[in-house]
């Protein structure tokens, strides 16, 4: 039957081949997903669970995981993977040498379901290939070539990993030993357009699902839209005007007022109502300024508290550092162990670093306060001019704002005059006299406002002229300052040159390591002596030679002179242990290149 061809069978096992290790044989058949059977058809392991496809006692494995099934579980790298002989109905698969490296494979293409199989026997047919590779999973198509290789496409990706397990096996058809009936399988990943297309479709589907999930999450976390602002009416206007007078409801009411003005609700009929609301909004400026001053006062008090606390912390740090310093004195230091001394020195360094950081912070705060005080008390002429200029600019801006407000008041008065004119025609004759008086008063007010506006414009022009003059004066002062700085730099350079000309000899004498003519003679004699001794000489040997010339020469004087001339003489250690000796060598030729 077809099922018998797909599963492994023991009919083709030669009876002459002994089964040396029944446990290894059971493991191999278990890896192939079959119940372990003996030579006579009896189960080798009575506790085999066919529902799990593996021996009981082994934890269950997900068959969809790639690389499982035929592929054995991971083995430590220091132990070779043991592959067993696989017997099929028409052929036999012999495992490769376990000590050889695993066969090389190309990089796995995305969504790979197709494998390349090379090294097939010349007499191999599609039926035999199907019989071998159907154990790895469902085979969709086989494309066989005439040159002993084929391409096999599986239904799922994890089946490819099972097929790769068979790479390196030697295949033999039946019990024949002919070359045409044998071969060595080489299984590798293959790149197929169908696999790539299916993989891309799957990726696009996953991307669509991800976009859909992200869109749902964004809609869930999107903040709700603000409530709509009501339309303007006389009733709503009175409600907003009352809210503007209340400090707790001011922010809501001012937003409604702003929306109405931006919508264009202001006209001749509603201008007075809007003006009164704007005026009530303006009355909150003083409250906000007072609140700001209160907060600034609280901030200053908090600064003072912080400064006092920081100074107290610094006093305690000073006391701790003093304790460490007193413990480091010899009177107490000798009584501590090495570990205790090390800990005390480390703690002392840490405490000093933290104290210095806090001290710098406190000094920075005090320096900032002193800078603020000095800026308020003493100001340079250039800074004075900058302040005057900024004051003029602020006055100009204030005049501009006042000019705009006067224009708005004029427009409001004109609107009121026009409304009065319209109402005048409808009113009775008795009311005409009062209206005429109101008209005269309004006209007088308009004339006064116009005169005031002309005065403000004239002051604005004068301020602009003064501002231009101040800018010109500032430019002149800056040029004078630059000229003075250049003159000072030139004079300082001239003084420095004259000083260098007067005292060149003193500098060279003070900088030279040789201070007298006697030392120069000693350096020459020592250099000659050490040049004759290329392997160096001890300080006692050198002094014994010099004392023959002058008995007043001492060893300490010679050693100090030679240590001062590091580019001429070099001290080296020679010998080991008790024979360790310090030798001086002449290195003047190398020192000449370095200097």
Residue where one domain finishes, among candidates 176, 201, 226: 201
Cα(91)–Cα(98) distance, rounded to whole angstroms? 21
pLDDT in tens, 276-297: 999 888 988 888 999 999 999 9
Contact assessment for residue 423 and residue 377, using Cβ atoms and an 8 Å cutoff: no
pLDDT in tens, 237-251: 999 999 888 888 888
For residue 425, give both structure tokens. 């025609």
- The model's confidence at residue 499, banded by pLDDT at 50, 70 and 90, is low
Residues 289 and 324 in one domain: no
pLDDT in tens, 97-150: 888 888 888 999 999 999 999 999 988 889 999 999 998 999 999 999 888 899
Cα(317)–Cα(65) distance, rounded to whole angstroms? 64
Contacts of 373 (CB under 8 A, 6+ apart): none
pLDDT in tens, 452-478: 899 898 889 888 888 988 888 888 888
pLDDT at 204 over 70: yes
Angle between helices 517-532 and 539-549 (to 10 degrees): 120
Span 339-352, average pLDDT: 89
User: How do 139-144 and 149-154 pair as beta strands?
Assistant: antiparallel
CA count, 13 A, side-chain hemisphere, 587: 17
Provide the pLDDT for residue 26.
47
Residues 535 and 581 in one domain: yes
Residues 123 and 182 in one domain: yes
Residues 314 and 293 in one domain: no
Provide the pLDDT for residue 387.
66
Span 551-572, average pLDDT: 85
199 versus 416: the higher-pLDDT residue is: 199
Angle between helices 271-282 and 234-245 (to 10 degrees): 10
Residues 155 and 247 in one domain: no
Residues 249 and 286 in one domain: yes
Cα(245)–Cα(280) distance, rounded to whole angstroms? 7
Provide the pLDDT for residue 202.
94
Q: Give the distance from CA 95 to its chain's centroid.
A: 53
Within-domain flag for 138: yes
Span 212-224, average pLDDT: 89
Provide the pLDDT for residue 428.
63
Residues 320 and 288 in one domain: no
Span 20-37, average pLDDT: 46
Cα(74)–Cα(63) distance, rounded to whole angstroms? 15
Residue where one domain finishes, among candidates 323, 347, 368: 368
Within-domain flag for 184: yes
Domain span at 562 = 517-593
Compute the mean pLDDT over every residue in the chain, rounded to the nearest whole number.
Answer: 79
Contact assessment for residue 59 and residue 73, using Cβ atoms and an 8 Å cutoff: no
Contact assessment for residue 62 and residue 68, using Cβ atoms and an 8 Å cutoff: yes
Q: What is the largest CA-CA distance in the chain?
A: 144
For residue 38, give both structure tokens. 């003996």
pLDDT at 505 over 50: no
425 versus 220: the higher-pLDDT residue is: 220
Provide the pLDDT for residue 163.
92
Within-domain flag for 240: yes
CATH number for the domain that contains residue 114: 3.30.70.330
Contact assessment for residue 308 and residue 281, using Cβ atoms and an 8 Å cutoff: no
Residues 181 and 130 in one domain: yes
Residues 102 and 165 in one domain: yes
Provide the pLDDT for residue 44.
44
Provide the pLDDT for residue 74.
43
Within-domain flag for 528: yes
Torsion of CA 45, 49, 52, 56, to 10 degrees: -60
Report which of 322, 315, 312, 317 is spatially closest to residue 355, judged by C-alpha positions.
317
Report which of 254, 302, 259 is spatially closest to residue 279, judged by C-alpha positions.
254
Within-domain flag for 238: yes
Provide the pLDDT for residue 427.
64
pLDDT at 506 over 50: no
Provide the pLDDT for residue 501.
52
Within-domain flag for 15: no
Residue where one domain finishes, among candidates 319, 349, 368: 368
Cα(223)–Cα(236) distance, rounded to whole angstroms? 28
Provide the pLDDT for residue 500.
52
Provide the pLDDT for residue 76.
39
- The model's confidence at residue 490, banded by pLDDT at 50, 70 and 90, is confident
- The model's confidence at residue 515, banded by pLDDT at 50, 70 and 90, is confident
10 versus 310: the higher-pLDDT residue is: 310
Provide the pLDDT for residue 157.
92
Within-domain flag for 91: yes
Q: Give the distance from CA 177 to its chain's centroid.
A: 67
For residue 234, give both structure tokens. 């006389």
User: How do 91-94 and 170-173 pair as beta strands?
Assistant: antiparallel
Neighbours of 413 (CB within 10 A): 15
List, in sequence order, the alpha helices (H) in 328-429. 330-333, 338-377, 381-426
Within-domain flag for 164: yes
As for how many domains the chain has, the answer is 4
For residue 522, give both structure tokens. 């000693």
Neighbours of 83 (CB within 10 A): 19
For residue 315, give both structure tokens. 């006093």
Residues 245 and 349 in one domain: no
CATH number for the domain that contains residue 581: 1.10.10.10
Q: Give the distance from CA 325 to its chain's centroid.
A: 42
Residues 94 and 172 in one domain: yes
Residues 96 and 160 in one domain: yes
């Amino acid at each position: 039957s077809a099922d018998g061809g797909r599963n492994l069978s023991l009919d083709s096992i030669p009876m002459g081949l002994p089964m040396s290790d029944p446990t290894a044989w059971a493991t191999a058949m278990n890896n192939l997903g079959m119940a372990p059977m003996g030579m006579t058809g009896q189960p080798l392991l009575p506790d085999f669970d066919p529902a799990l496809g593996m021996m009981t006692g082994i934890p269950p494995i997900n068959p969809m995981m790639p690389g499982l099934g035929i592929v054995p579980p991971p083995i430590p790298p220091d132990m070779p993977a043991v592959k067993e002989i696989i017997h099929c109905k028409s052929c036999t698969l012999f495992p490769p040498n376990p000590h050889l490296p695993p066969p090389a494979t190309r990089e796995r293409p995305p969504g790979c379901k197709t494998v390349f199989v090379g090294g097939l026997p010349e007499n191999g047919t599609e039926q035999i290939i199907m019989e071998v590779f159907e154990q790895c999973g469902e085979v969709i198509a086989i494309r066989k070539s005439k040159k002993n290789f084929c391409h096999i496409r599986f239904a799922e990706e994890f089946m490819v990993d099972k097929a790769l397990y068979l790479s390196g096996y030697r295949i033999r058809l039946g019990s024949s030993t002919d070359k045409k009936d044998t071969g060595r399988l080489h299984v590798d990943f293959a790149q197929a357009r169908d696999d790539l297309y299916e993989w891309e479709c799957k990726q696009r589907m996953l991307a669509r699902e991800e976009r859909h999930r992200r869109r749902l999450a964004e809609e869930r976390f999107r903040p709700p839209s603000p409530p709509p602002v009501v339309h303007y009416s006389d009733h709503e206007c009175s409600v907003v005007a009352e809210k503007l007078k209340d400090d707790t409801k001011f922010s809501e009411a001012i937003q409604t007022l702003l929306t109405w003005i931006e919508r264009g609700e202001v006209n001749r009929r509603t201008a007075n109502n809007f003006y009164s609301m704007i005026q009530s909004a303006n009355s909150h400026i003083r409250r906000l300024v007072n609140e700001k001053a209160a907060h600034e006062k609280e901030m200053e008090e908090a600064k003072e508290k912080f400064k006092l606390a920081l100074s107290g912390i610094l006093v305690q740090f000073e006391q701790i550092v003093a304790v460490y310093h007193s413990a480091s004195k010899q009177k107490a230091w000798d009584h501590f162990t090495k570990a205790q001394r090390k800990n005390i020195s480390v703690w002392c360094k840490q405490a000093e670093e933290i104290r210095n950081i806090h001290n710098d912070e406190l000094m920075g705060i005090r320096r900032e306060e002193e800078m603020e005080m000095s800026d308020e008390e003493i100001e340079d002429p250039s800074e004075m001019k900058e302040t005057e200029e900024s004051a003029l600019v602020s006055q100009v801006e204030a005049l501009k704002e006042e000019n705009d407000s006067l224009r708005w008041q004029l427009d409001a008065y004109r609107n009121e005059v026009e409304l009065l004119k319209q109402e005048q025609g409808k009113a009775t004759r008795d009311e005409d006299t009062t209206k005429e008086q109101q008209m005269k008063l309004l006209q007088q007010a308009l004339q006064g406002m116009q005169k005031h506006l002309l005065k403000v414009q004239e002051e604005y022009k004068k301020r602009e002229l003064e501002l231009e003059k101040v800018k010109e004066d500032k430019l002149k002062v800056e040029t004078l300052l630059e000229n003075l700085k250049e003159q000072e730099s030139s004079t300082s350079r001239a003084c420095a040159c004259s000083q260098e000309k007067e005292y060149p000899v003193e500098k060279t004498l003070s900088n030279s390591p040789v201070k007298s003519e006697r030392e120069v003679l000693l350096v020459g004699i020592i250099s000659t002596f050490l040049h004759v001794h290329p392997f160096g000489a001890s300080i006692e040997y050198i002094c014994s030679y010099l004392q023959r010339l002058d008995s007043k020469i001492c060893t300490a004087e010679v050693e100090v002179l030679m240590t001062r001339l590091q580019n001429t003489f070099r001290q080296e250690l020679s010998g080991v242990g008790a024979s360790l000796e310090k030798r001086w060598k002449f290195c003047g030729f190398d020192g000449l290149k370095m200097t």
